[in-house]
Copies of this chain bind each other. A is one copy, B any other.
Amino acid sequence: MSEVIGAVEEAYKAFNADQVVQPDYIGIDLHPPRGDIDFKLGYYKGNEIISMKASSGGFPNNPVTYGVPSGMGTILLFDAQTCALICVMDGSLITGLRTGASGAVSVKALARKNAKKITSIGTGNQARMQIRAINEIMRVEVIHAWDHTPESLAKFKADIEREFGIPVVTAHSKQDAVEQADILITTTRGKGSVVEADWIKPGTHIVAIGTDAKGKQELDPEVFRNAKVVVDSILQCTEKGETQHPLGRNIIAKDGIHAEIGEVLLGTKPGRESDDEITIFDSTGMAIQDNTTSTRIYRNAIERNVGTFFEFIQ
């Protein structure tokens, strides 16, 4: 995970240093109860690698009827010198890892230095990934967690306490949990109730992960009114990130977005400037994160002679 955090930092900086080409993605929507599959392409001039990730999601019948996950991913890497295919790897775990790492990168750049308490709204896989990543870069004193499913909440508490030794307080309400936060992480599916603006205390850093499509929402758009808003990609976040909602209601204007996170990491825009600011990091996920993360995994695999070699061209 510490390497993934480095890879994601590199990705964000590269994106804002004009080192990245990320065309629009293409996809196929299948007939319900099936979901969709999309293909995201990223070229990074820094490593001369082109990555293509195929990601599917929304196939609820997969586990029981077909014995495969409800969403899957595959990553291809091409050497940009020749466009030869150099690697085929699974993309599901990598998506989880690089998304977890994105929260940690934003915490380094935007959270208060004395932040100790995390609130996790959502207790699924990605909530765990966020904790795993943030735990690499700071000492977490306590996690307040909330989920609308009590079983999921109890399992999250048990798992996190066992894996990381961080005490987890299972909150009685979403409001109770949010009010405790130095760092608030939202990783729900973006289809339930929202976090209300007046629950959030000054100085909170918000990591908004769950909203990655039009119509999804995790935060009351009023949260954005007096917050410092940082996004991974303005293009993506204004369309399908949490930022779509305050923009749509004219709570903020597009030029009210403070920065893309790569600008903060490169030092061309300031990060947090006071202990009272509310900062929001809106993450939709970029192809270049898949590129830098999978390239690092590929290089580690080559170095350690892990994987299977295959000749397509005889």
- The CA-CA distance from A69 to B313 in the complex, in Å, is 9
- The CA-CA distance from A82 to B70 in the complex, in Å, is 8
Q: Is A109 an interface residue (CB 8 A)?
A: no
Contact present for A74 and B66 (CB under 8 Å) = no
Q: Is A39 an interface residue (CB 8 A)?
A: yes
Q: Is A119 an interface residue (CB 8 A)?
A: no
Contact present for B54 and A72 (CB under 8 Å) = no
Q: Is A154 an interface residue (CB 8 A)?
A: no
- The CA-CA distance from A71 to B82 in the complex, in Å, is 8
Most chain B beta carbons < 10 A, residue from A21, A74, A310: A74
Chain B proximity mask over A33-55: 1 for CB below 8 Å, otherwise 0:
01101010101000000101010
Neighbour of A26 across the interface among B24, B59, B71, B90, CB < 8 A: B24
Chain B proximity mask over A301-312: 1 for CB below 8 Å, otherwise 0:
000000010101
| Chain A residues near B (Cβ < 8 Å) | 21, 23-28, 30, 34-35, 37, 39, 41, 43, 50, 52, 54, 56, 59, 62, 66, 68-69, 71-72, 74, 76, 78, 80-85, 88-90, 92, 308, 310, 312-313
Instruction: State the oligomeric state as a number of copies.
Output: 2
Contact present for A78 and B23 (CB under 8 Å) = no
- Residues of B within 8 Å of A90, CB to CB, are 312-313
Instruction: Tell me the minimal C-beta distance from A58 to chain B in angstroms.
Output: 9
Shortest 3 CB-CB contacts between residues of A and residues of B: A56-B83, A90-B312, A23-B26
